[in-house]
């Protein structure tokens, strides 16, 4: 039988790395403070017919690899059967060597389904039916998969118009983990979008408040924010190319919104002024409620208009963007800090060329009131692979305090992605272990291990007050 390389000491290069991982990292529960898992599937405790439904559907990481490997769209997102789609993925996997997908694929197969087979065309049928049989077992439900990975907290990403009915139901039940929501009001910011007015109608309906002005828009967002807060939400999230910063008086921003409501075209400056005003307004409201705010910055989204029209957004046509970040980000944070209304903030960067920009930026606004108040977030999206994780860790170590870092998250839509925490922890322990081996850190394993435990678990637990 062909054996996987996912062994006990996978990614751990020396004895110090092994001790750090096995003694200080491996056994801690997972706090997944940002993901895109569907709350309804968690509440319904969904059972999956097969691994394709669970593992390939919705995973644009895999879709991109399959397209690159010459797989037709019908076998990726089209009308092929689930088994045919799995076979197409299995055909692709051997060609993902040196891509993180190869590591993740076999780590997930090992941790959830206890298979040591390498996935390829020859093993695909056996693995498909092996996993299908396991998915029929009572402990392989949606919640069973979460519990299997010792998940303590799952934070979903939710639009202000969401009813949070699933979160309410989950809070009323006895579960082994907590499911919390995150408030993501980006659609209310994107005034240049063709869908902006339609979104205002939805927001108006959910808040039960007609939105006819800037004042009523802000009131509607506050109503929804209060509703989220009442239902346990303590985190917001924004996915923007960059932080806007173009100040304008409230009256001027109100005029800009009126132009949009009348169907008039807006200039790029007007759009920027509207976004700046509303984002500052939201950030102040986050501070008032003691929330953590997250900013995912740097993605160039939906670049292939032909395929976006065919399949819709978020189907695998995004990339790293080259956006100016430092100046507007610093101005935005400074504007909040001047008024002493800058809440705990996590900044995620998607362009590795700007790692040090972000790592140094957080130090400008750490004011001693909260340990690690402004965080340089973990490697995100295209950077949540080994090299990206190491570069983020090194930039943060060099520019700030890695000991205050709140660690990894999945940012995933798949219930099989939780081993990415293990992947991160192994890489983290290996980097510290190499430093000990090289004489760059003391051989005091308890000292270093204490930092590892904080990064893997305790810092996040304290930061989010879970």
pLDDT digits (tens, 9 = 90+) for 75-131: 999 999 999 999 999 999 999 999 999 999 999 999 999 999 999 999 999 999 999
Confidence (pLDDT) at 5: 85
| Among the listed residues 332, 378, 344, the one whose alpha carbon sits nearest the alpha carbon of residue 359 | 378
pTM of this prediction exceeds 0.95:
yes
Of 305, 306, 302, residue with least CA distance to 319: 302
**What is the separation of C-alpha 276 from the centre of its chain, rounded to a whole number of angstroms?**
23
Looking at the DSSP assignment, which residues form a beta bridge with residue 344? Answer: 292
Q: How far apart are CA 5 and CA 97, in angstroms?
A: 12
E strands, 166-215, are 178-180, 182-183
pLDDT at 314: 87
Contact 112, 48 (CB under 8 A): no
Q: Which residues contact 397 (CB under 8 A, 6 or more apart)?
A: none
Helix or strand run (H / E) with residue 281: helix 268-289
Which tens digit of pLDDT belongs to each residue from 308-332? 999 998 899 999 999 999 999 999 9
Pairwise CA distance, residues 215 & 394, whole Å: 45
% of the chain surpassing 90 pLDDT? 97
Alpha-carbon span 15 to 448, nearest angstrom:
14
Between the CA of residue 428 and those of 17, 26, 104, what are the distances in Å?
A: 9, 11, 16
Residue 444 has pLDDT above 50, yes or no: yes
Question: d(Cα 53, Cα 49) in Å, to the nearest integer?
Answer: 7
Q: Check whether 275 has a pLDDT greater than 80.
A: yes
**Per-residue confidence at 174, pLDDT binned at 50, 70, 90?**
confident
Contact 104, 419 (CB under 8 A): yes
Helical axes 214-230 vs 196-207, angle rounded to 10°:
60
Q: Is the pLDDT of residue 67 over 90?
A: yes
Q: How many residues does the chain have?
A: 466
HEC readout, 132-156: HHHHCCHHHCHHHHHHHCCEEEEEC
Q: What average pLDDT does range 280-295 have in this prediction? A: 98
- Residue 3 pLDDT: 60
Q: How far apart are CA 404 and CA 401, in angstroms?
A: 6
Taking the C-alpha atoms of residue 87 and residue 65, their distance in angstroms, rounded to an integer, is: 14
Q: What are phi and psi of 263, to 5 degrees?
A: 80, 15
Beta bridge partners of 239: 296
């Amino acid at each position: 039988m062909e054996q996987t390389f996912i062994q006990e000491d996978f990614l751990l290069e020396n004895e110090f790395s092994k001790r750090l991982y096995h003694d200080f990292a491996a056994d801690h529960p997972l706090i997944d403070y940002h993901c895109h898992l569907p709350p309804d599937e968690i509440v319904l405790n969904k059972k999956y017919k097969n691994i394709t439904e669970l593992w390939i559907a919705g995973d644009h990481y895999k879709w991109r690899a399959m397209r690159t490997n010459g797989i037709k769209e019908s076998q990726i997102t089209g009308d092929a059967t689930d088994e045919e789609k799995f076979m197409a993925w299995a055909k692709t996997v051997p060609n993902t060597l040196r891509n993180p997908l190869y590591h993740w694929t076999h780590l997930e197969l090992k941790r959830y389904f206890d298979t040591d087979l390498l996935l390829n065309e020859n093993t695909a049928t056996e693995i498909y039916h092996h996993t299908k049989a396991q998915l029929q077992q009572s402990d392989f439900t949606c919640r069973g998969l979460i519990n299997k990975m010792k998940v303590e907290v799952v934070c979903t990403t939710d639009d202000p118009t969401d009813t949070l009915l699933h979160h309410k139901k989950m809070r009323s039940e006895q579960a082994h983990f907590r499911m919390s929501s995150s408030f993501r009001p980006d659609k209310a910011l994107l005034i240049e979008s063709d869908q902006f007015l339609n979104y205002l109608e939805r927001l108006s309906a959910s808040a039960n408040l007609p939105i006819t002005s800037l004042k009523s828009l802000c009131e509607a967002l506050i109503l929804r924010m209060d509703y989220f807060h009442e239902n346990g939400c303590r985190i917001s999230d924004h996915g923007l190319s960059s932080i806007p910063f173009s100040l304008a008086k409230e009256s001027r921003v109100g005029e800009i919104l009126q132009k949009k409501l009348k169907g008039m075209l807006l200039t790029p400056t007007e759009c920027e002024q509207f976004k700046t005003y509303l984002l500052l307004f939201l950030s102040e409201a986050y501070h008032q409620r003691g929330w953590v705010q997250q900013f995912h910055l740097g993605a160039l989204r939906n670049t292939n208009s032909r395929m976006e029209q065919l399949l819709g957004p978020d189907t695998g046509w995004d990339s790293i963007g080259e956006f100016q970040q430092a100046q507007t980000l610093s101005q935005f944070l400074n504007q909040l800090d001047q008024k002493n209304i800058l809440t705990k903030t996590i900044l995620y960067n998607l362009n590795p060329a700007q790692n040090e920009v972000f790592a140094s930026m957080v130090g400008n606004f750490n004011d001693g009131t909260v340990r690690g108040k402004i965080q340089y977030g973990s490697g995100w999206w295209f950077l949540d692979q080994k090299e990206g994780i190491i570069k983020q860790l090194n930039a943060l170590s060099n520019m700030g305090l890695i000991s205050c870092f709140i660690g990894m998250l999945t940012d995933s839509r798949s219930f099989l992605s939780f081993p990415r925490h293990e992947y991160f922890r192994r890489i983290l322990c290996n980097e510290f272990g190499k430093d000990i081996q090289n004489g760059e850190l003391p051989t005091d394993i308890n000292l270093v291990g204490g930092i590892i435990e904080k990064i893997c678990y305790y810092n996040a637990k304290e930061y989010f007050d879970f």
